Amino acid sequence: MPNRRDSSGIDTESPDIDVACVTDGRALLPHRLAPNMPDTHPLEPLASEFLLSADRLEACPRDDVVEVAFAGRSNAGKSSTLNRLTGRRQLARVSKTPGRTQLINFFSVNEGGRLVDLPGYGYARAAKSRREAWGQAVDEYLNRRTNLVCLVLLMDARHPLKPYDRQMIDWCTGRSLPLLVLLNKADKLKRGERKTVLRSFETEVPPATRTLLFSAATGLGAAEAVAAVREHLSREHPGGL
Ligand SMILES: Nc1nc2c(ncn2[C@@H]2O[C@H](COP(=O)(O)OP(=O)(O)OP(=O)(O)O)[C@@H](O)[C@H]2O)c(=O)[nH]1
Ligand SMILES: [Mg+2]
């Protein structure tokens, strides 16, 4: 029986994954890379703690340490990815209902810097006033945070490059802000399809766009993603603080 899908094509009826994969911390480690991925980095999760939630720029913590933010359409798997990369099963809240993350959530990384879980964009069913409030908070965050050193852009590998995704890529390119694209839910693609999806994605984005096939559910690409995020977190504050 076909699954019911929302306007973005994301399955909203059946859970996308075996919940145990995401919610059981023991299932996260040891990390198992898919056979087609070179095991170049062992997965050392970015141990982190929840810091605070903000509904507007003024409520964000001081921008005195570098931040890597996770953006993407609602339901793309930003929160699940954060949990995967930090090795904490319930650090960020995951839900099969789009629009779960409604505030900007900050997590302090023990080895330095912060991870930031942004509310998703494109959740058509939220009330207009709420959408505008989230949109404004996210816009202000992206445009005014002086400590943002990398944007991790999550897309559903089955439906990448929706208009807002393209805008985000252009926005990063325009500012020379480092971008890491994670084509998430790759576990939902057949092995053969993965390469095709990646290749076709790469023909559509600027050549320097760093892109990984990824699965928050299985850990595919997680070691590479952790290594990339860790490298950005170790950078100097762009404002020279
Ligand atoms: N199959 C599969 N499902 C996933 C994966 N990552 C996330 N999901 C599922 O996708 C749904 C949304 O995940 P979230 O992490 O809450 O997504 P989000 O982007 O934070 O969503 P918002 O907070 O609404 O913006 C949940 O049902 C997750 O279990 C993945 O890699 N594979
Ligand atoms: Mg979320």
Asked whether residue 12 is domain-assigned, the answer is no
Name the domain count of the chain: 1
User: Which CATH number fits the domain that encloses residue 171?
Assistant: 3.40.50.300
Confidence band of 241 (pLDDT split at 50, 70, 90): low
Residue nearest ligand 1's atom 27 by CA: 96
Nearest ligand atom owner, CA of 131? 1
Give the separation between CA 58 and CA 171, rounded to whole angstroms: 22
**Pairing status of strand 148-156 against strand 210-213:** unpaired
Ion ligand 2: residues, Cβ under 5 Å: 78-79, 100-101
Q: What is the DSSP letter of 29?
A: -
A 10 A CB-CB count for 237 gives: 15
- Burial bucket for residue 4 (CB in 10 Å: 0-12, 13-18, 19+): exposed
Asked whether residue 14 is domain-assigned, the answer is no
Question: What's the pLDDT score for residue 73?
Answer: 92
Give the separation between CA 130 and CA 136, rounded to whole angstroms: 10
Asked whether residue 35 is domain-assigned, the answer is no
**Residue 216, ligand 1, Cβ within 6 A:** yes
Nearest ligand atom owner, CA of 18? 1
* Contact partners, residue 96, CB within 8 Å, separation at least 6: 12, 15, 16, 75
Q: Residue 118's closest CA among 85, 84, 86, 152? A: 152
pLDDT digits (tens, 9 = 90+) for 151-165: 999 999 999 999 989
**97 alpha carbon to ligand 2 midpoint, in Å?**
10
Asked whether residue 5 is domain-assigned, the answer is no
**Residue 187, ligand 1, Cβ within 6 A:** yes
**Residue 118, ligand 1, Cβ within 6 A:** no
**Residue 75, ligand 1, Cβ within 6 A:** yes
Contact between residue 69 and residue 137 where contact means Cβ atoms under 8 Å apart: no
Asked whether residue 125 is domain-assigned, the answer is yes
End-to-end distance of the chain based on CA atoms, in angstroms? 56
Atom of ligand 1 minimally distant from the CA of 154:
19
Question: What's the pLDDT score for residue 104?
Answer: 94
pLDDT digits (tens, 9 = 90+) for 47-76: 999 999 999 999 999 999 999 999 999 899
Phi/psi of residue 102, each to 5°?
-110, -5
**Residue 131, ligand 1, Cβ within 6 A:** no
The CA-based angle 73-68-56, given to 5 degrees, is 65
Of 37-46, 135-144, 186-195, which gets the smallest average pLDDT? 37-46
Asked whether residue 7 is domain-assigned, the answer is no
* pLDDT of residue 169 exceeding 90: yes
- Of residues 224 and 8, which shows the higher confidence score? 224
* pLDDT of residue 219 exceeding 60: yes
Give the separation between CA 77 and CA 84, rounded to whole angstroms: 10
pLDDT digits (tens, 9 = 90+) for 85-104: 999 999 998 877 777 677 99
Asked whether residue 146 is domain-assigned, the answer is yes
**Residue 90, ligand 1, Cβ within 6 A:** no
Atom of ligand 1 minimally distant from the CA of 21:
29
Residue appearing with tokens 């930003």: 78
To test the ligand 1 pocket, which listed residue (16, 162, 197) has its Cβ within 8 A of the most ligand atoms? 16
To test the ligand 1 pocket, which listed residue (23, 73, 75, 118) has its Cβ within 8 A of the most ligand atoms? 75
Domain that holds residue 214: 19-30+40-233
Asked whether residue 217 is domain-assigned, the answer is yes
Average pLDDT over residues 190-205: 96
